[in-house]
Structure 1
Amino acid sequence: MLLLGIESSCDETGVALVHAERDGVPRLLGAALHSQVAMHRDYGGVVPELASRDHIRRLLPLLREALAQAGVALHEVQAVAYTRGPGLAGALLVGAGLATALACALGVPALGVHHLEGHLLSPFLSADPPAFPFVALLVSGGHTQLMRVDGVGRYALLGETIDDAAGEAFDKSAKLLGLGYPGGPALARLAEQGDAAAFALPRPLMHSGDLDFSFAGLKTAVLTQVRRLGAELEARKADLAAATQAAIVDVLVHKALAALRATGLKRLVVAGGVGANRRLRAQLDEACARHGWRVHYPEPALCTDNGAMIALAAAMRWQAGGWPPQGEGLAFDVRPRWPLEEVALPVAAGG
């Protein structure tokens, strides 16, 4: 099965081709990606209308690039997968429209994929793919969740953020520090030059006894420190960045380990843009090695939004015997808000 994947949920346009057999891990053949970071930088954040228009400009050139890289022709594609949600409605419609038009022209299924399921399964394209079951820490820009994953479409929510996500905490704190857009990576880079112990910042809900997260209070604490420092902020900026990153990472690591203990599982998957953070990876690697647990990540290029994870999710759904909820029709809708639990596959009797 040759699947084409299209991602257009926010500010990255991705197209990829994945080949899958009924058994075995699907194989990435080619991928092309464009980031809109430079376009949105002047506005300090994503402008939805501009994002949608840019997806229109980029998708067909990226499609040609991915096909050339994979060494296949468009008529060989056997299914077209696209991000149905969650995301920006206008941006999602661009990808869904192109995917459905291509599927109609080729006479193949058009498959709506859940964006977070793509992130969740993306480590299966890495050099060290995981095996089911595992605990997943999903840390993308607007989501922070812990899931128990027993198989494709078999997800149980263990905990999630009750306000800001970890990615939002990075970005909002970076804005308070006067760093550029995107703020999260800028804060992480600056943190490497600072002393994480220089400021005592809170670790919200770290010892709450549950697996939920909260990062809004941390943002408020960073704002308080910025105001206290005043003219001294420039000289102490790296230290405050390091302390902020340490607070976010400490909470993520503590909760992820607590989820492993609570479930009795010994395998952790970390996915989403924040999963590329080097401090987070280093602390999780060290902690899991200490307990004899395994931790898996996507390849760095697959941490951000991309078409490969969308094609992969559709391929693994096909292997599991069930396409995504969109089915095989050519009428489409998008789901800007879409709980991951709604894409569960039916469990066979005795399964």
Structure 2
Amino acid sequence: MSSIIKSDITAAPVTRMRDRLDPFDNFNASTRALLALDAGRMGCWSVNLVTEQVLGDRFIANLLGLDYDAQPWSLADGFDLIDPIDLDRVQAIVAKAISGETPTYDVEYRRRRTDPSMPVQWLGARAQITEWAEDGTALRAVGVSWDATEQKVGEEKLAVMAAEMDHRVKNAFAVIRALINLGDRTTDSKDEFATTLRSQVEAMAMAHAVSARMARTTADADSLLGIHDIIVSSLKPWLTDKQDAPARVHIDCDPALMIHPRKVSPLAMVLYEISTNATKYGPLSTPVGEIHIVVTPMANDMVRLQWSETSDTQDAQPEAQSGFGTVLLENCAINLGGSVTKEMKPQGLHLELLMNVAG
């Protein structure tokens, strides 16, 4: 059976390839090809589609676990290496190329595992039909293969992160709706409600930014976050790094103490609520008032956060944190898997938050 190059499919790519190689005539083409394959961590193979025999380089032999000296290999042996989950899909893509519908194909698939405990290995293959019979029958294909495991694992992690971030954004909108409904039932002051809602939206935005930044850094949407960092981010407007300025906020929290990212938003909302009230009525409304925050780990993933205010103002509110604020704190504590208690002392508010930091 005679064969020809099907001009409408492969002649143009061959011409383009020849044009690309012209500037490198002083360098052996086969050497260039091998260097390119090595740089791309790929192996090259060719298959006779009539005899279904495959030839490949040592990289391909090592990648597929075949005996390099036992060539030619059987095309059926290559298909046997594909996980049954992907086999039909891969065969359909290859058949489409052989039929002439698309003379090239690009596919990724899982390698068959003889032991279920073995880690999943992904392989990639890209090929082109290079020789055709006069009747249009595909005769030969040339391609490259590579280990795609690292790429696929990265893609899967990104997909999980995207799904988790989508879930958190949806939760954030649900929380905002709940806050609006809660404020409608528990407050008579439009200004008070607007201030609280604004601060809580800022809290959620801050919490999302912190958790998203950590997820990008670690490529893990469930990466734990430091409670100390969350406190610092929430109270940043009242923290100072000026040596001549007195500290207004004192934080005693082990930087190694961590919390699950899904608990960051309710914790930030608690901190924003009580710091907003401290700004309006408590120590942050005076030149000399202070806040002391102490975070203590307890048993069974529980952590206690104590917030203590000292202020010289007598305008400390016995009712300022009732109504909307109180219900908000209680709901946040429930979402944190704990409880909240508060007491107005002569020097200011003393609040104790118990929370479960696990997921």
TM range (shorter): under 0.3
TM-score (norm 2): 0.18
When normalised by structure 1's length, the TM-score is 0.18
Larger Rg: 2
